[in-house]
Amino acid sequence: MANPPTWSLVTYDVRDAKRLRKVAKLLEGYGERIQYSVFRVRLTREKLEKLRWELSEAMELEDDLLVIPLCERCASKVNEHSRGDRTDWGDPPATFEIL
């Protein structure tokens, strides 16, 4: 049985401008840009591993990569919150307590 595609949030910090452009271009081919260095992708396990390998080839040890798996519900909310929609966040607490 083939594994179905799942959502992931991919974020990176690349310290060289040339590598930064290469990583961004690579990710544009896999998913949707949410913020400058944040992408939402929907890939099978094999495609995600291929993406990780391609990113490891484009990045250096000084660069950072974070891939966070997302459930369907969470993935659908990524765009809502990335565009400044905070309607379902609730009201902030009236007071804060420092322990």
In-domain check, residue 41: yes
In-domain check, residue 96: no
Task: Kindly report whether the global pTM for this prediction surpasses the value 0.85.
Answer: no
In-domain check, residue 89: no
Q: What is the pLDDT of residues 28-79, one digit of tens each?
A: 999 999 999 999 999 999 999 999 999 999 999 999 999 999 988 887 777 6
Closest listed residue to residue 27, CA positions, set 45, 46, 47:
47
- Three-state helix/strand/coil letters over 7-71: EEEEEEECCCHHHHHHHHHHHHCCEEEEECCEEEEEECHHHHHHHHHHHHHHCCCCCEEEEEEEC
CB atoms under 10 Å from CB of 14, counted, come to: 21
**pLDDT over 80 (residue 80):** no
What CATH number does the domain containing 51 carry? 3.30.70.240
Give the structural domain span for 49: 6-82
Q: How many independent structural domains does the chain possess?
A: 1
